[in-house]
């Protein structure tokens, strides 16, 4: 089981791989769409990679609710 810091850094690596955003920019308060400029196609890729990395399921209706990096970290932490 990954802790909060591990989930954040793991998620940041995925975001960097998919969207080319420096891992240091991927902080809990950032909005995927408004701050990191990630489009809906890339969000699908990020979700699939996060599912594999953390052993969680992120259904589409849940994915739509994950507005910020922090939202995603908490969701993964609760559901892993």
Enumerate the active-site residues: 39
Question: Does the footprint of another protein cover residue 13 (CB under 8 A)?
Answer: no
Binding another protein (rule: CB under 8 A), the pick from 35, 51, 71, 77 is 51
How many residues belong to the site for another protein (CB under 8 A)?
10
Question: Does the footprint of another protein cover residue 45 (CB under 8 A)?
Answer: yes
> Rounded to 5, what percent of the chain is helix, strand, coil?
60, 0, 35
- Tell me if 49 sits within 8 A of 17, measured CB to CB: yes
The residues, any chain, with a CB within 8 Å of residue 40's CB and separated by 6 or more, are: none
Question: Does the footprint of another protein cover residue 56 (CB under 8 A)?
Answer: no
In the complex, least distance from residue 53 CB atom to another protein, rounded to whole angstroms: 13
């Amino acid at each position: 089981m990954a802790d909060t810091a591990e989930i954040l850094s793991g998620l940041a690596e995925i975001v960097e791989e998919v969207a080319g955003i420096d891992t240091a920019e991927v902080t809990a308060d950032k909005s995927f769409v408004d701050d990191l400029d990630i489009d809906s196609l890339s969000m699908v890729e990020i979700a699939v990679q996060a599912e594999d990395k953390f052993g969680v399921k992120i259904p589409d209706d849940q994915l739509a609710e994950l507005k910020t990096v922090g939202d995603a970290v908490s969701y993964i932490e609760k559901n892993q």
